[in-house]
Amino acid sequence: MRGLSQQVPPPFQVLKDLMAKARGARDNAYAPYSGFPVGAAVLSGDGVVFRACNVENGSYGLSVCAERNAVSMLVVSGRVNPIAIAVAGPPGVPCTPCGACRQVLAEFNPSMSVVLEDGEGGLEVISLEDLFPRPFQLGESRG
Ligand code: THU
């Protein structure tokens, strides 16, 4: 049986297009406090893309990252099947999801493909399971 860590990533061109959509979503970032705009695009298993940006707040701790906003949009659509996410921070620089976002992404697919800029003009594709092994799982933690 194929393990979750061995999920086959979508074709590279699909992931390139996903990154282009993440970059587009970054244009709408509301990041007046950090000055650090981020865009994310999540691909569902049925081929739909959900885009979002970070949304900051004057009460800083209420700020929400682009990745969590994007996966929330997928869930609001009635889906729970993300297979890939692209994250675009400052152009050309890798922007890996923060720990909170990794946990939220893992809720829906612990081995989804994560697409990042590689800092050399290309893309890096990494499994969420490699970025975030052993997420908290409530069902396994009740004892
Ligand atoms: N941020 C994201 O949206 N995604 C990340 O992967 C890293 C950080 C946001 C949070 C905050 O609005 C700003 O970037 C600076 O931390």
- Ligand 1, closest atom to CA 101? 6
Tell the residue nearest (CA) to atom 2 of ligand 1.
65
Tell me which of 53, 54, 101, 115 to substitute to probe ligand 1's pocket, judged by most ligand atoms within 8 Å of the beta carbon: 54
- CA-nearest of 81, 89, 99, 112 to 25 is 89
- Ligand 1, closest atom to CA 54? 3
110 Cβ inside 6 Å of ligand 1: no
Cβ atoms of 54 and 64 closer than 8 Å: yes
- Whole-angstrom Cα distance, residue 132 to residue 135? 7
Q: Which fold has domain 12-131?
A: Cytidine Deaminase; domain 2 (3.40.140)
In the chain (143 residues long), the average pLDDT of successive 10-residue segments reads 64 98 98 98 98 98 98 98 97 96 98 97 97 95 84
Model pTM? 0.95
> Position 126: which residue type?
I
- The token pair at 44 is 């569902």
For residue 85, what is the DSSP state? E
Determine the pLDDT at residue 74.
98
Query: Rg of the chain over CA atoms, in angstroms?
Result: 15
15 Cβ inside 6 Å of ligand 1: no
Determine the pLDDT at residue 7.
80
